């Protein structure tokens, strides 16, 4: 990544980001700072505004009010190519209109560096990205014929090949099997340790607990809590945010977040209002 490092790394700063669509406030005054070297995981129930926030962070979506700055410059004032040299994005859905080969899709990640000195690194970056996303063996396959998980990994390889110092990943693990979920997030952490800023939207709270430096819990379009996984992922907070009793247990040094379920045979109790207070280690 050092070959593509930029001079000013002041991270990504969102201030008072508000998004209103048709009179409905989807995001209300969200503040978020992501510094180089850290993995920030966004969690929250459906409709909490995670993807909208990510849209604002990528610059795709202009906030109704508030600002998003990357390295001290408003995201909206970057030219598309300059922004693409600073941040890469993995969307929830990776569509492809035509039957390109997986290798060609990964190569698309190098497009922002076309005719730049960094283009010399193209082959190395592509090979590296393919290896890290475990898609080297798929390189000659046609992208539309790959499985959902394979497509997601090829797209992740494209994002890595872009070689930017900011990664925004929207539910990157959704289509992946257990092995590749862990592998992908390990790569994300590795990127952060090498100086990148990484934002990941996740649904799996145990994954969030294991790989996040900081967790940002969104609910109803606002930040409910931000902090280290141990500070934020508490039974009380999660039960309240998700409207479902949640237990947080410690296993082999990691936090495990599990929803409280009724006896296996019976359906779960309709709505037990309070979470279990004592979270006992297994």
Residue ranges in contact with another protein by CB under 8 A? 58, 60, 79-85, 87-89, 91, 94-101, 104-105, 108-109, 111-112, 114, 123, 127, 139-140, 142, 144-145, 158, 162
Q: Shortest Cβ distance from residue 87 to another protein (Å)?
A: 8
The answer to whether 113 and 122 have CB atoms below 8 angstroms apart is yes
Nearer to another protein, 69 or 104 (CB): 104
- d(CA 156, CA 169) in angstroms, rounded, equals 9
Q: Shortest Cβ distance from residue 61 to another protein (Å)?
A: 9
Q: Shortest Cβ distance from residue 226 to another protein (Å)?
A: 25
The residue with tokens 């922004």 is 83
- d(CA 17, CA 57) in angstroms, rounded, equals 9
Q: Shortest Cβ distance from residue 83 to another protein (Å)?
A: 7
| Main-chain phi, psi angles of 152, to 5 degrees | -60, -40
Closest C-alpha to 124, from 8, 2, 281, 30:
2
Nearer to another protein, 81 or 186 (CB): 81
The answer to whether 232 and 224 have CB atoms below 8 angstroms apart is no
Residue 195 has what DSSP assignment? T
Q: Shortest Cβ distance from residue 153 to another protein (Å)?
A: 15
Question: Which DSSP string do the residues of 15-72 spell out, in sequence order?
Answer: EEEEEEETTEEEEEEEEEEE-TT-EEEEE-STTSSHHHHHHHHHTSS--SEEEEEETT
Nearer to another protein, 104 or 204 (CB): 104
Q: Shortest Cβ distance from residue 62 to another protein (Å)?
A: 8
Nearer to another protein, 74 or 144 (CB): 144
């Amino acid at each position: 990544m050092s070959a593509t490092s930029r001079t000013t790394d002041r991270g990504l700063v969102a201030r008072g980001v508000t998004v209103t669509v048709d009179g409905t406030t989807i995001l209300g005054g969200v503040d978020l700072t992501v510094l180089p070297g850290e993995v920030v995981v966004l969690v929250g129930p459906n409709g909490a505004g995670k993807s909208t926030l990510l849209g604002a962070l990528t610059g795709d979506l202009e906030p109704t009010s508030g600002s998003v700055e990357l390295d001290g410059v408003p995201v909206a004032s970057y030219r598309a190519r300059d922004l693409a040299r600073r941040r890469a994005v993995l969307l929830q859905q990776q569509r492809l209109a035509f039957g390109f080969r997986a290798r060609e899709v990964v190569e698309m990640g190098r497009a922002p560096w076309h005719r730049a000195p960094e283009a010399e690194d193209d082959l190395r970056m592509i090979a590296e990205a393919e290896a890290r996303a475990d898609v080297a063996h798929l390189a000659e396959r046609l992208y539309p014929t790959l499985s959902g998980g394979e497509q997601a990994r090829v797209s992740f390889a494209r994002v890595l090949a872009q070689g930017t110092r900011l990664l925004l990943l929207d539910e990157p693990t959704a289509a992946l099997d257990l092995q590749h979920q862990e592998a992908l997030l390990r790569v994300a952490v590795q990127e952060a340790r090498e100086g990148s800023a990484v934002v990941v939207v996740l649904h799996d709270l145990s994954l969030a607990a294991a790989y996040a430096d900081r967790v940002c819990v969104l609910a109803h379009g606002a930040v409910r809590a931000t902090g280290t996984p141990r500070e934020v992922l508490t039974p009380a907070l999660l039960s309240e945010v998700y409207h479902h009793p949640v237990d947080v247990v410690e296993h082999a040094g990691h936090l495990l977040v599990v929803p409280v379920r009724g006896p296996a045979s019976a359906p779960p109790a309709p709505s037990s209002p309070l979470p279990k207070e004592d979270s006992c280690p297994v």
